[in-house]
Amino acid sequence: MTAKPRDLAMDSNAWPFVEARKVLARLDGKQGDAIRKRGYVLFETGYGPSGLPHIGTFGEVCRTTMVRKAFEMISDIPTKLIAFSDDMDGLRRVPDNIPKRDHIEKFRELPLTSVPDPFECHNSFGEHNNAQLRMFLDTFGFDYEFRSATECYKAGLFDDVKMKVLEHYDEIMEVMLPTLGPERRATYSPFLPLCPWTNRVLQVPVIERNLEKGTFVYQDADNQTYEVQVRGAACKLQWKVDWAMRWTALAVDYEMSGKDLIDSVRLSSKICRILGGRPPETFTYELFLDDKGQKISKSKGNGLTVEEWLAYAPHESLAYYMYQAPQRAKRLYFDVIPKCVDEYLAHLGNYVKEDEAKRLQNPVHHIHAHEASVPAPQAGLSYSILLNLASVCNSEDKAVLWGFITRYAPEATPATAPMLDRLVGYAIRYYQDFVKPGKVYRKATEAERAALSDLLAELRKLPATAVAEDIQYQVYEVGKRHPFDDLKSWFAALYEILLGQKTGPRMGSFIELYGVAEMSALIERALKGEDLAA
């Protein structure tokens, strides 16, 4: 008897299904009754718009959506995803990668939605970055509801739980104070009032509380005292308390966060319980590193942006990068893009051959779970092959590459294979920007010239329609006949002499695509000592 998809999902060890089963367990017993009564399970992702949107933030939404869709396979209860922006936070540091930094410096400690937009296209810096976030999420086709902290505070959505913070003030302080240094303990309060004169977010101690009136009193640096209403937007909460308050007010069921927030999750979970809430199921992912192994920072801009990735590769490859080993630290820089594209394409090719159980393990299932169906692979050409084709053609014209592709796969056209057409454009752009500037062709040694002459003779014996396997066999045999230390050295010589790079494609597949006659002509040029970079 064939297992049902839900049963297969319940047994799958793909990490989104493992996480989804944690959420499913929340529905057991009396605690699950409130969720069922509400009618949906709530997933949340948080965004701190203090700098331009970072690819890691978007990865959080992508991964959370994978868990959400996995949950929908094993449960009939509807789901929602909230993308929440902490845009009422004060601007503590002006990012390095924005215009008009000196001007924006004047607005430090103001809520991000009160800081002017340095890009001059929105009402505030917070709104600008929120728009960037939504643009990316819409590009992926995510189903989500956007929430702004500023709007929620002003609308009174958090008022009841903020009053609980006032009520349980001492208990919350008992949780927070042991985690702070002496100086911070002296001024710490869960409440951050907004200065009535400057609108700056203030870090000041509370000297008096009045639960009946719903107010607290603070003293400023000039020893002046001010009474603040807890309800409304005259104050916000310190972020760990704010996180717990949000979990409680919205009844969040699932949220993931980075490794650097492990202690914050623990503290916010304690505070959430004090406020009468139930902490969500959580998942900790590792942080992204730049090409030097340093943690990527939104303010420093020392990693790839979403726009940079999408300039050189399809969004499916970015989703694949996010899927892979989320609990392992990974470097995020331009060199990882071709590898991610090719691995995604390989999984896509395997998907159509796999049974249903294996498909649930395939990253492609989770990448496309929010779409109607998984797309069919097109022509079977890798990104690396296209990069090398762009390299030998040295052309910025997609039509030139398509001339070779249609000879290799006559049924493929830009209209019938749109993904392949996108890959051709991406490959040309990536080659021009990253590969071409670093290409160094070297001359062949006498021993290598002899091997190249031998290979040229063998290629001339092959028909123009020779397939990759037959071509690869001849390349291997030529390498074996000549005094190379090993076949790896022979292929390295081919790459360095003919392609101007240290590594390259499977030669049989590449020559089949490029053409036996064309490769023969390229070898002839190398033997004559011509400049192949020209």
Do both 300 and 152 map to the same domain? yes
Q: Provide the CATH number for the domain around residue 495.
A: 1.10.10.350
Coil vs helix vs strand at 277: coil
Mean per-residue pLDDT for 228-234? 97
Residue 190 lies in a domain: no
Distances (CA, A) of 240 to 64, 109, 157, 262, 358: 21, 18, 18, 12, 41
- Whole-number pLDDT of residue 70: 97
Q: Looking at 14-18, 367-371, 485-489, which range is the least confident one?
A: 367-371
- Whole-number pLDDT of residue 1: 47
Do both 291 and 416 map to the same domain? no
Give residue 226's region: left, alpha or beta (phi > 0; psi -120 to 50): beta
Last residue of one domain, picked from the residues 405, 438, 471 = 438
Residue in 393, 428, 405, 142 with CA at minimum distance from that of residue 313: 428
- Whole-number pLDDT of residue 303: 67
Q: How confident is the model at residue 53 (pLDDT cuts 50, 70, 90)?
A: low
Mean per-residue pLDDT for 416-429? 94
Residue 9 lies in a domain: yes
Under a CB-based contact definition with an 8 Å cutoff, are residues 401 and 428 in contact? yes
Residue 518 lies in a domain: yes
Do both 140 and 123 map to the same domain? yes
Mean per-residue pLDDT for 82-110? 92
Do both 423 and 456 map to the same domain? no
Residue 210 lies in a domain: no
Cα 206 to its chain centre, rounded Å, is 40
Mean per-residue pLDDT for 45-67? 84
Q: How confident is the model at residue 428 (pLDDT cuts 50, 70, 90)?
A: very high
Do both 46 and 2 map to the same domain? yes
Q: Provide the CATH number for the domain around residue 323.
A: 3.40.50
- Collect all residues with Cβ–Cβ distance below 8 Å to 279 and sequence separation of at least 6: 244, 247, 268, 269, 272, 273
Do both 146 and 4 map to the same domain? yes
Query: pLDDT tens digits, residue range 132-142?
Result: 888 878 877 88
Q: Using CA atoms, how far apart are residues 398 and 400, in angstroms rounded to an integer?
A: 5
- Whole-number pLDDT of residue 29: 80
Last residue of one domain, picked from the residues 396, 412, 438 = 438
Do both 25 and 143 map to the same domain? yes
Do both 59 and 135 map to the same domain? yes
Number of compact structural domains in the chain: 3
Do both 153 and 298 map to the same domain? yes
Do both 420 and 451 map to the same domain? no
Residue 131 lies in a domain: yes
- Whole-number pLDDT of residue 534: 72
Residue in 139, 136, 111, 137 with CA at minimum distance from that of residue 126: 111
Length of the chain: 534
Residue 413 lies in a domain: yes
Q: Using CA atoms, how far apart are residues 243 and 238, in angstroms rounded to an integer?
A: 9
- Whole-number pLDDT of residue 52: 63
Query: pLDDT tens digits, residue range 442-500?
Result: 999 999 999 999 999 999 999 989 999 999 999 999 999 999 999 999 999 999 999 99
Rg (CA), the chain: 29
Last residue of one domain, picked from the residues 418, 438, 458 = 438
Mean per-residue pLDDT for 362-383? 87
Q: Looking at 28-42, 97-111, 368-382, which range is the least confident one?
A: 368-382
Under a CB-based contact definition with an 8 Å cutoff, are residues 232 and 153 in contact? yes
Q: Using CA atoms, how far apart are residues 175 and 34, in angstroms rounded to an integer?
A: 27
Q: Using CA atoms, how far apart are residues 83 and 44, in angstroms rounded to an integer?
A: 6
Say yes or no to pLDDT of 5 above 90: no
Residue 487 lies in a domain: yes
Do both 42 and 101 map to the same domain? yes
Task: Identify the residue whose tokens are 């209209």.
Answer: 415
Q: What percent of the chain shows pLDDT beyond 90? A: 77
Total Cβ atoms within 10 A of residue 412: 18
For residue 387 the two structure tokens come to 């990069």
Residue 333 lies in a domain: yes
- Domain extent at residue 5: 1-157+286-366
Do both 356 and 387 map to the same domain? no
Q: Looking at 103-117, 173-187, 242-256, 286-300, which range is the least confident one?
A: 286-300
Q: Using CA atoms, how far apart are residues 187 and 351, in angstroms rounded to an integer?
A: 57
